[in-house]
Every structure is written in structure tokens, then in C-alpha cells.
Structure 1
């Protein structure tokens, strides 16, 4: 006879092929191992399917007696579903405050805060410690970046008049060619780092992904501006490609961020401001202005990350110094900034073809380089270097700006 205290679930016409197991499973959650659940329903195959499901989940099924008043089978709750999660742990908590400093490799792609079943495949992420990638500003920067995305088709008026003199337009095209080259490197580097960071640090992944998306968009708008009037692309110097190649070979997350974002993109902020100020047409002004806004976020994360590192690792300043010196040694025999790029910047700042105007343009480019140097020194001092150290390291930075 059925025990009135024992629960019974009526599946009515619902079959296991339609999800009946969910109702059985829900009722079993309220029972202790060894307690029984009666199951009834109108599906002719109910008992057969119930036995298969219970066998897979560690429960025991016994046939019902004729006196069990409509119950077709009894399910005795087993321990297998409990044992499966024995030793499981939460992967931190969902929010930023729940980050685990050193998440195990076998957590893999599990969401932060999920209950992690013991075992699982080892993952290929080699940057697995919070302090190697973190900056407290990362979540806020990602939120800002996500809300500040812009569409090249609507944010820029591509139909605005561009009636530059041929030599001025060639200068614009040359500068855009140079910018594309640098932005391609600035896309590849965060993309490479992104694939190495443990997904537990999701805010950093999100920020790096948006950074790569920013650079992809910059490549698009600089290319569209270069080709807008039918000119061919400008020149690409070996020295420029050699300079960017040294960035690609920097394996350590913090040092790659330091060289690319703190020094390189930091200098690019000055360059983009220069181009905004000296743009000969509204399209050039808009593409450089929008790109500069994005680049400022990249620099902010790089600086914040290195500041975080400096509070934890007293050796980080030595490693930064070595990274700069290593890159300088690799580039010491290169020619420096592409002469075509330098001359194009002079032409854009000159605004006319007179000796006085060219002199003014030359002075403006010299001032740009001085402003880049000042900006690098300020960021280095902000990271904890002395004024003299900052000046020495800034002087070793590549003449190719990035």
C-alpha cells in the first residue's frame, strides 16, 4: 500500500520525450537519499523511460503494486547526483569582488560564480593570475568603451567636401597609410594577449576585445580616408615595420601593455591631436578625433594596469626599463621615422607652399615630438620612475612614435 506521507508526482500525459524528467527531478530535489517518490501518468512508455533515466542518474525504480492506487512506479532517491557535486566549489562570485586570484586551469570557460564540477579538461590559458592582468579601473573602462562605440558610416560625414591641393592630399594619404600600419599592430597585440588570459578575468577579456575592435574600426576609417579621393596608398618603410615587429615579440602581458599602450599609444594621442588641429578637411579631422577618443581608453588601461603592478611587484620598474632598453637595442641601427611621413606632417602643419610656411610646419612637427616626449615622461613618473629615469627612458623610445 502507498504511504500517505510519500509524495507522488502525476505526469498526466507528459512523456519523457517531452521533458517529464524535469518534474521527476524537481520532486526528488526535496527528498533525502533513500526516500521514495511515487510516479504516475498516462504515457504507456512511462515506466520504461523512467527506469532508463533513473539508471543514468543513480536512482532505483521499483514496480508499483496493484494496491498503490494509481502509482505506476516508485523512485528511491540515490546518492549519485549528490556525489557528482561532492567537492565542487564556486568559481568565485559573479561580481568583480568575487574574483579568485589564481583560478585553476580546469575551470576553463566556466562562468565566474558557477558551481564547478570536479575534473574537466586543462585549458591553454597561460596568464592565470589576477595580478598579472588586473587593473581596478578595468570594469569601468569596459563599460565606457561599450557605450562609446561608434559606427564609421554614421559618425563620419564621408560626403563632406575634400578639395585639398594634390600635394596636400598626398600628404594626408601618406599619413593615413602610416596610421593603418600602426593600428594593425595595435589590433594584433591585444588579440594575442586576449587568447592567453584566463576567462575568469572577464572584464580584462572584454576590454581587450573592445580594444581590438577599436583598432579594427580605426583601420577601416583610415583606409577609407586614404582612398577617398582615388589616390594610391603611400609608402611603408622597413624601419616602421621593424619597430612594430618588436612589439609583436614581447611575450609578457605587462611589458606588452607598457610598450604598446603606455609609450606607443600614449605618443599617438599627441599625433592624433596634431592631425585634428592641422587637418586640411573635415573628414580627416573627424576620423582622427574619433580615433583619439578610443586611444585614450587604451592608454588609461595600460597606465592603470602598470600602476597596479608597481604596488605588488618591486621588480616591475626594472623589467619596464629592460623592455625599453631591449627594444632600443633592437632598433638602434634602423633609420627612424619614415621620411615620407615626417615630410607629410610638415606639409599638413605648413598650410602653404612658402619658405615661411614650411618653416612653421617644421617647427610644429618638432614641437609635436617634444610634446610626445613630455607625455611619455609624465606617464613614466606617474608609474613611479624618478624624473631623471623618465627622461632617460623616454629618450630611448622609438623614433617611429609607436
Structure 2
């Protein structure tokens, strides 16, 4: 009789007894004998089937007494043996990803042991160079830690009074922001189901980006309706400009048009509103949204910079995307005139001629800052300074 034993008492294998058996066998060497005690009537039926499944051998116990063991389990390879030749879905170390994870990994956690067989879901964005950035894990952690609640991060009841025409200008700008943020939400959402789950930090980061844009939609809409019930205007040119981003199905080109060019310029616009907002609520929501948008831009630039380092043809594709979009929007009016006028009035602060003149200068400096920012980001992607300037000039006048 072996000294190794486990007493299941009245617990059957179908009610959790298998866990006690597995725990008792785990530290034993192969060939060791474990006496199984218990009085569940189904043990004698369930034990042989369980041993076959788990890779152990069952021996009958010597009938010494009614209180003796039900059977003897001889330790085999067990579950570890069954998994001995199993492959893994890459490494579980953070940030260490495979170049081309196979479809058979499916939804398995990165680094998990893989049982053979199962479905092979198709993810067309399954190449590391197409989606990955070294900054993705750190950027996701940053994004997750800095989520904010629209209901508490903004003091919606903070008192302020604006002249009707200034309030109308705020409403128009908020309407424009809502329109653009709707596009900025849809674009990353469309790629979530196409990226191989092996690149989970990128999927997580894009999911947070979608959540960011959802919050922006909420706060911009809420500010627009804070003092009234009517939104501003939406121009054909503005909607056409956003549609050219929506219809881009290539991940790299979509990220380029949205994050590197559009949201990059949007950061400048939000900074402009932080400076010239006529009330504390507008200033606060512009500042909150700007922090999120800076993160979106950083990921877009980082991942495209890494991709361009391994794919020398990428810059040609990026250039073609800008030129194609410029040609498509050649006959549109560009920035909604109502938005331009609203920005001018907000930065002017009054209707005095000299104030309007100063406001106009502020808006022109905004356009210049947007252009400079686009140039810097294009140069970061490897474009020469003169070409970066040329391509920046082709960017839509609708900012996004």
C-alpha cells in the first residue's frame, strides 16, 4: 500500500472531486500510486473514464475492508504529457509579438498552449508591420489610466453668460466638432474586427480611441445644447471631406489621413479653443479632448514611422493618398464659412473693427500652426522638408 492517498469523502468526480484528484497527483512522479478513498456510489464508474482522459492508469484496490480505498491511480504523463508537444501562440511577454501570427491561433491568448484543431478565423490585418508600434503597450496603459467621465470631469453648472452672437458662434464650432468626431469614431471602429488578436495592445488602444471619440461626441453635443435647442450648420464640403477618410479601407492610409493629418490639425484647433474659449465649460472640454487627440496622433505617427522603416514603398502610397484626396475635393468649398466666421468672432472677443482684425490674424496663425505641425509629422515619416511642405498644402481646408 502506498503512502500517497486522497480522501474525496462523499464528493463525486462530477461535482468537483476531479480537482482534488488532479491536485494530489500533480507533485507525484510518473509511476507513483495514489490510493483514492471516498463513498460516492458513482466513483467506481467515473474513475476509469477520468483516468483514460487524463492519461493515468487505474488499478483495483485490494479488498481489505469496507473503509479501504476505492481504487489505486497510477500516475501517468497526465495533462502535462498530453500538452507536451503543444505549440504556443507566441510569447506571453508584453510587447513581444510575432511577425505573422497564423490564423489557427484564432482568439487564443498570446502565449497560451494550443490544443490542435479548432476554428481558424480570418483577420486580414495579420502582419506586424502593418499595425504594430513599439509604443502601443505603453500608450494603451496611458490611455486606460486617463479615461475621464463627461459627467464629473466638466462642471456643467458653472455659471457664465455670453452674448447671443457669441453663444451662437460656440454652438457652430461645437456642431463642426461633433461632425468631425463622428468620422473619427467610425474609422478606428471599422478596423477593430480586422486586426489579428495577437496584436492585442493595438486592438485595445483602438478600442479606447473609439471610447475617446464617443466621449468627445457627448461633451461637444452637450455644450452645443447647453443654452439652446438648435445646432449650427453642416456644409457639403465638410461632409465630403470626411467621407474621403471614411471610404479609405487600407489601415495605414486611413491612419495617415485621420490621425497624422486630420487629428494632428485638430489638436491645433482644440488648443486654439482652449486659448480663445469665451466660457469655462468650452475651455474645459476642449482641453480634455485635446489630451486624448494627442495620444491618437502619437500612435498614428509612431506606427507609420516604424512601417516606413521596413517598407520603402509606404511613402509613395501616403503621397498618393494625399493627392487622391486633394483631387476628390478639388471642387468643394473647403472649410464651412460659418465655422470660419465663428472662430474669428471667438478669437476677436468683440465686434470692434480692431478686434475683428486681431481675430482674423489669430485664425490665420491657427492655419499656419496646423501647416507647421503637418510638415513636422510628414518629415517624421521620412518625407524631405520641401515635399512635406508641398503635401501639407494639399491637405483639406476643412482641417480634418
Q: Is the partner of 1:111 in helix, strand or coil?
A: coil
Give 1:67 shift: 4.1
What's the counterpart of residue 11 of structure 1?
Answer: 8
What's the counterpart of residue 92 of structure 1?
Answer: 90
> 1:74-113 residue pairs with structure 2 within 5 A?
74-76=72-74, 81=79, 84-85=82-83, 87-113=85-111
What's the counterpart of residue 179 of structure 2?
Answer: 181
Asked whether 1:41 is paired with 2:38, we answer: yes
Q: Is the partner of 2:204 in helix, strand or coil?
A: helix
Asked whether 1:71 is paired with 2:69, we answer: yes
- Of 123, 138, 146, 1:148 maps to 146
Give 1:336 shift: 0.9
Structure 2 gaps of 5+ residues are none
Q: Is the partner of 2:123 in helix, strand or coil?
A: coil
TM-score scaled by structure 2?
A: 0.93
> 1:115-126 residue pairs with structure 2 within 5 A?
115-126=113-124
Q: Deviations over 1:198-241 (max 9, x none)?
A: 11112111211111111111111101100000140111112111
> 1:148-227 residue pairs with structure 2 within 5 A?
148-227=146-225
Structure 1 gaps of 5+ residues are none
User: In the comparison of the two structures, how many residue pairs are matched?
Assistant: 399
> 1:316-335 residue pairs with structure 2 within 5 A?
316-335=314-333
Asked whether 1:295 is paired with 2:293, we answer: yes
What's the counterpart of residue 269 of structure 1?
Answer: 267
Q: Using the alignment, how far apart are the partners of 2:163 and 2:221 within structure 1?
A: 20
Is 2:55–2:82's contact at 8 Å kept on the other side of the alignment? Answer: no
Q: Is the partner of 1:400 in helix, strand or coil?
A: coil
Q: Is the partner of 2:194 in helix, strand or coil?
A: coil
Is 1:173–1:231's contact at 8 Å kept on the other side of the alignment? Answer: no
Q: Using the alignment, how far apart are the partners of 1:158 and 1:79 within structure 2?
A: 65
CA gap of 1:157–1:248, structure 2 versus 1, over 3 A, is same
CA gap of 1:20–1:189, structure 2 versus 1, over 3 A, is same
Is 2:95–2:134's contact at 8 Å kept on the other side of the alignment? Answer: no
Query: Relative to structure 2, which stretch is displaced further, 153-162 or 290-299?
Result: 153-162
Query: Relative to structure 2, which stretch is displaced further, 67-76 or 173-182?
Result: 67-76
What's the counterpart of residue 381 of structure 1?
Answer: 379
Give 1:96 shift: 2.2
Is 2:95–2:137's contact at 8 Å kept on the other side of the alignment? Answer: no
> 1:16-27 residue pairs with structure 2 within 5 A?
16-27=13-24
CA gap of 1:195–1:188, structure 2 versus 1, over 3 A, is same
CA gap of 1:296–1:104, structure 2 versus 1, over 3 A, is same
Asked whether 1:134 is paired with 2:156, we answer: no
Q: Is the partner of 1:96 in helix, strand or coil?
A: coil
Give 1:183 shift: 0.6
Query: Relative to structure 2, which stretch is displaced further, 91-100 or 279-288?
Result: 91-100
